Structure 1
Amino acid sequence: MSDLVDKAKNFVAEKIANIKKPEATVTDVDFKNLSRDSVTFNAKVSVSNPYSTSIPICEISYTLKSATRMIASGTIPDPGSLPGNVTTVLDVPVKTPYTILVSLARDIGADWDIDYELDLGFTFDLPIIGDITLPLSTKGEIKLPTISDFF
């Protein structure tokens, strides 16, 4: 009897391990907006849904670092759902206060860009399986706009 239970556990574990999961890639991180108190960067993330039905995204968490210093972190609760069998491009806004950017003045002044590391976590609510978090990390540099970019 215990042998049958062990076989059933192994069968279920193998099937769950081989279930397709959503996949994501960061396609671009760029300057988005300038306000009175902060700068907003925008991460474009391409997320593919391998299922025929839509799946809800419970939340998106993010952490933006530069030179091992945390610039911004936060979560975006309930950003919507991913349609079935489609790759969707999501915009993830990352709001950064000016006070933190001032601490990066040496890096910005040298080449007018910010070297960054962006960590994202997409939490999906999959039927039967439950909540899964899809981690995503990327590195690069964000070119800051110049005065000529505004005119």
Structure 2
Amino acid sequence: MSQLVNKAKNFVSDKLGDVAKPEASVMDVDFKRVTMDSAEYLAKVSVHNPYSTPVPICEVKYSFKSANREIASGTIPDPGSLKAKDTTMVDVPVKVPYSILMSLAKDIGADWDIDYQLDLGLVIDLPVIGNFTIPLSQNGEVKLPSPF
């Protein structure tokens, strides 16, 4: 019986390997605002859904790194759904505590920006397949608000 189940799983996975899957890209990472204890950034992620039905996003996991150190990470549960046969913009807010920003003074001091690496995992719930993670990575620099 277990051989039959394994054959069925292999058949389904082979057939689904050729099926189009949602694709995503990081469009922008920009400074959002300053609060009493942190600086907030906003990553805008574009996700294209090739299916004729909406697809729920289970969660978004993120890791924000600078100077080879993780300076922020988190999970955004249930950020919504992907529109059917369309592109959906997903906002990923990233909050970086001032204490960490101050420890990056060498990088910030020269040009008043942060060189970063943003790693994202969009976990979506595909019918029949189940949870599927779209991995993304973006490198760049974000300007800090000028004190002058």
The answer to whether the superposition gives a TM-score over 0.5 is yes
**Alignment match, 1:108:** 108
1:137 aligns to 2:137 (yes or no): yes
Aligned CA RMSD, in angstroms, stands at 1.7
Deviation at residue 96 of structure 1 after TM alignment: 0.8
Say if 1:5 and 1:80 are closer, same or farther in 2 by CA, change over 3 A. Answer: closer
Say if 1:9 and 1:90 are closer, same or farther in 2 by CA, change over 3 A. Answer: closer
Deviation at residue 101 of structure 1 after TM alignment: 0.4
Question: 1:31-42 maps to which residues of 2 (within 5 A)?
Answer: 31-42=31-42
- Unaligned 5+ residue runs, structure 2? none
Q: Deviations over 1:77-98 (max 9, x none)?
A: 0001111001111111001110
1:97 partner amino acid: P
Question: 1:1-151 maps to which residues of 2 (within 5 A)?
Answer: 11-147=11-147
User: 1:118 and 1:6 mapped to 2: Cα distance?
Assistant: 38
Deviation at residue 47 of structure 1 after TM alignment: 0.6
Which segments of structure 1 move beyond 6 Å, counting only runs of 4 or more? 4-7
1:79 partner amino acid: P
User: 2:92 and 2:138 mapped to 1: Cα distance?
Assistant: 14
- Unaligned 5+ residue runs, structure 1? none
Q: Deviations over 1:94-147 (max 9, x none)?
A: 011100100101100011110000000000011110001110001000011224
2:49 partner amino acid: N
Work out the number of aligned pairs and report it.
145
1:73 partner amino acid: S
User: 1:88 and 1:13 mapped to 2: Cα distance?
Assistant: 27
